[in-house]
Structure 1
Amino acid sequence: MPRLPHPTPEELRRDTLPLRGRTALVTGASRRGGIGHAVARRLAAYGASVYLHHHVPHDAGQPWGADRPEDVLESVRAAAGDSGARIVAGPGDLADPDVPAELVTRAADALGGPLDILVANHAQSGFDGTLDEIGTEMLDRHWAVDTRAVLLLVQAHARLRPPGPGGRVVMMTSGQDMAGGMPGEIAYALQKGALASITRSLSATLVERGVTVNTVNPGPVDTDYLTGEDYDAVAARFPSGRWGMPDDPARLIAWLATDEAGWITGEVISSEGGFRR
């Protein structure tokens, strides 16, 4: 096989809108304090048209509450780098096995073409426990939302997108396989571990279709779920003395969506700011 030539000077000069003309679906973009919102803003700032998925009833049932979808949408629109990009939002309960494929189709239709980028950021919060506390309902709920829905989204994305370069899938994992594990969130840790484990297999499956598949572990991120002494104790375990903020993993995820990351696939990448476990 011949060696590829060095990039030309023109190719080395980075486009200020590297995702102009691309389309993206970001799931779990329900709150302005969350990672999904930060990822959507970054993709939009890079020029992409973005569909923001939300499931307000989930967040409304959590201690942090829900944002109005129109407020999240307006925040992402304000960050758009391309005035011609489409920024759209819509609901979906990903616990329903029919919703992932329907959502991918709806997002593609709303953005005017097949999706290039899928960021499966959503997750079931709470409804979990230790080994002694978990039951079949907890396990099934986390399986349905955290893992099954992600695989069905990837399947629909691969089926609807014509083969060709520029396809991207980014999934989200957690620190379940690192020191200390997550003994208080067994169901969540189990399903997030499954996504990390399947990353390489999905990558090998989709590489010939021009789609890269990577999974990001964002580490502890301040999404408004912890306060007080517990918050300060976590912050002290970062060399910088601060938590990760939603835009920290969002910068990595947005870069993975660009052509510059076209050689990166099948990887589980941590973005933890040196967090000491």
Structure 2
Amino acid sequence: MPQLPHPTAEALRRDPLPLRGRTALVTGASRRGGIGHAVARRLAAYGASLYLHHHVPHDAAMPWGVDRPEDVVAAVREALGDPDARVIDGPGDLSDPAVPAELISRAADALGGRIDILVANHALSGSDGILDAIDADMLDAHWAVDTRSVILLIQAYARLRAALPPRTHGGRVVMMTSGQDIASGMPGEIAYALQKGALASITRSLSSTLAEHAVTVNTINPGPVDTDYMTGDDYAAIAAMFPAGRWGMPDDPARLIAWLATDEAEWVTGQVIDSEGGFRR
């Protein structure tokens, strides 16, 4: 059916539940203060059913601590826009190369056999340093979690989408990067910056690969986001670097990611998008 040069007036009226009937896997959705949780709430509010991935041992070892998975799920369920949508959760250590495909399979089974939206939000915190401090173990740890697992997740997702009828509508992949290629970069986090840079670099290639399955692929740089990891004078100094005088909040990138998941964004793919509120490095 040929596309009309302009949408009808009816089509211009925004659906309050643009993701009704669609399904999403959000990784790293383990803390109510995190970006993954904010993304999940936005997708839920738009009508999607969700599978929330968590890896409790990682957060338990971090200064910010861990939330109970059931509390995270309850907070996402609060936001559900469609009473028929579901929120399911499950664990996964994505440093294990077998887990990404297992997670995709488990999430698809739980969501009725299909995943429309994949948001690869997880990352390894810590185990990093300046060039003089890093070692092979640090590099390998970040490679395994921050990059290898994301590519293996997308590989398994693509195979799942390939089994659907040709050009099934609504396929979306969103990855996360960290602005490591802007201004002075991230000289204090060499291993993390390296692996996040790899995701930014592969975005265009993945978008070309998945285009035949009607899947868009985009990567978001959210800039500094207040996920409870900094306080005091350092926190205030970062806030002063934003024109708005505040840090980014988890819902700031979540709004963009949720929009990318809708039909309104179907013409946006292969992009690395900076969503930093005018942050001045």
The one-letter code matched in structure 1 to 2:80 is A
The one-letter code matched in structure 2 to 1:171 is M
1:192 aligns with 2:196: yes
Which position in structure 2 is the counterpart of 1:32? 32
d(CA) in 1 for partners of 2:211, 2:74: 35
Please state whether the residue corresponding to 2:185 is helix, strand or coil.
coil
The one-letter code matched in structure 2 to 1:109 is D
d(CA) in 2 for partners of 1:4, 1:13: 16
Alignment partner of 2:257 out of 221, 230, 253: 253
d(CA) in 1 for partners of 2:12, 2:106: 36
Shift of 1:5: 3.0
Which position in structure 2 is the counterpart of 1:224? 228
Cα-to-partner distance string for 1:189-233 (whole Å, 9 max, x where unaligned): 000000000000000111111000000000000000000000000
Which position in structure 2 is the counterpart of 1:97? 97
Consecutive unaligned residues in structure 2, runs of 5 or more = none
d(CA) in 2 for partners of 1:102, 1:3: 38
Which position in structure 1 is the counterpart of 2:10? 10
d(CA) in 1 for partners of 2:209, 2:169: 15
Shift of 1:165: 2.1
Which position in structure 1 is the counterpart of 2:42? 42
Shift of 1:6: 1.3
d(CA) in 1 for partners of 2:179, 2:17: 32
Aligned length: 276
Please state whether the residue corresponding to 2:88 is helix, strand or coil.
strand
1:182 aligns with 2:186: yes
Please state whether the residue corresponding to 2:20 is helix, strand or coil.
coil
1:276 aligns with 2:280: yes
Shift of 1:139: 0.3
d(CA) in 1 for partners of 2:22, 2:128: 37
Which position in structure 2 is the counterpart of 1:81? 81
What TM-score do the two structures reach when normalised by structure 2? 0.97
Q: How does 1:52-201 map to 2 (within 5 A)?
A: 52-161=52-161, 162=164, 163=166, 164-201=168-205
d(CA) in 1 for partners of 2:10, 2:51: 31
Aligned-residue Cα RMSD (Å) equals 0.8
Cα-to-partner distance string for 1:46-68 (whole Å, 9 max, x where unaligned): 00000000000000000000000
Please state whether the residue corresponding to 2:52 is helix, strand or coil.
strand
d(CA) in 1 for partners of 2:11, 2:113: 26
Please state whether the residue corresponding to 2:173 is helix, strand or coil.
strand
Alignment partner of 2:271 out of 255, 267, 273: 267
d(CA) in 2 for partners of 1:121, 1:114: 19
Distance change (3 Å), C-alpha of 1:76 and 1:131: same
* Bigger mean CA deviation after superposition, 79-88 or 2-11: 2-11
Cα-to-partner distance string for 1:64-112 (whole Å, 9 max, x where unaligned): 0000000000000000000000100000000000000100110011111
Please state whether the residue corresponding to 1:90 is helix, strand or coil.
strand
d(CA) in 1 for partners of 2:62, 2:229: 9
Please state whether the residue corresponding to 1:122 is helix, strand or coil.
coil
What TM-score do the two structures reach when normalised by structure 1? 0.98
Shift of 1:31: 0.2
d(CA) in 2 for partners of 1:114, 1:255: 20
Consecutive unaligned residues in structure 1, runs of 5 or more = none
d(CA) in 2 for partners of 1:165, 1:270: 26
d(CA) in 2 for partners of 1:5, 1:256: 22
Shift of 1:3: 6.5
Alignment partner of 1:214 out of 202, 205, 218: 218
